[in-house]
Amino acid sequence: MYLAWLAGRPAALNGDPLTDRRARDWAVRDYRHYLLREADPKRSVRYVNNALAALDDFHVRRGLGKADIGREDIPKTAPKAMNAPAQIRWLRAIEDWPHPRDRALALLPFYAGLRIGDAVALDVPDVRLSARKGVLTVYGKGGKIREVPVHPQLRQPLTDWLDARRSWPGAATQRALFLNRRGGRLSARSASAVFTAIAQAAGLEDPTTAHIGRHTFVTQLIRGGEDLVTVAEMAGHARLDTLRIYSQPTNDDKQAALRHLIVDR
């Protein structure tokens, strides 16, 4: 695309951008302006930054080095999370779902903040349930171990699955909490398919994945006023800065802000 764009404007070039460093910088800056303001359709900031990264690689391979050009700041928006109506529909779809394994799995990101990889890596001994409380031992990224309390709404689905699991193939020999139909550990890909199926049953307008369930968990805690250190520990985030983006407005927040404007009807 960049080369085609160059070919279409030879008169506007100040030197050869494929051999001269100054001409390279000017051309790439003009191309950035074109993508953001003149292209049809105009490109997003994220798209443009990705295009500039590709051009960096292109110029390095030609021996020119990276162009001297700044990146556009990506608008700060909180990660996608389910709004309140979507959360209710999601929870009701899980409650209606006939398979106890899938019900327990689908609630782990929402009520425990687990990544899908965290969930399928759980072993049976990692789930400790007492008469009133419970704890999950989670082995996260980089082999880091954290303990997450079991939410009251998660206790019964976990108990139901542990009971049902006894009759599954591989239950006597496998340590994995979540088993597939052949008695092996459930894969992340198969677990993702569970989330997709339940989301379709819920009739949600936006795609819902385990990651969005996890984002919803973190967003609810932070917006509820919980301490960032506590949330970081529960979610398995090594850096607090990673969590601060959750306090940014969502697209729904921005849409809701428009309600304050006067309308003359």
* Residue 61 annotated to the active site: no
Is 246 one of the catalytic residues?
A: yes
29: burial class by Cβ within 10 Å (0-12, 13-18, 19+)? middle
Sheet containing strand 127-129, strands side by side: 127-129, 134-139, 145-149
- Catalytic pick among 24, 185, 215, 237: 237
- Determine the Cα–Cα distance for residues 249 and 83; give it in Å rounded to an integer: 13
Q: Which residues of 216-243 are buried (b: 16+ CB within 10 A; e: fewer)?
A: bbbbbbbeeeeebeebbebbbbeeeeeb
Phi–psi pair at 179, nearest 5 degrees: -105, 150
Q: Quick one: which of 248, 204, 236, 247 has its CA closest to 108?
A: 236
Q: Is 111 a catalytic residue?
A: no
Structure tokens at 220: 């609810």
Out of 141, 175, 223, 254, pick the active-site residue. Answer: 141
Catalytic residue among 115, 165, 185, 215: 115
Catalytic-role residue among 32, 165, 214, 215: 214
Of residues 32, 101, 103, 246, which has the active-site annotation? 246
Catalytic residue among 92, 211, 244, 254: 211
Q: Does residue 151 have an active-site annotation?
A: no
Q: Does residue 34 carry a catalytic annotation?
A: no
Residues involved in catalysis: 115, 141, 211, 214, 237, 246
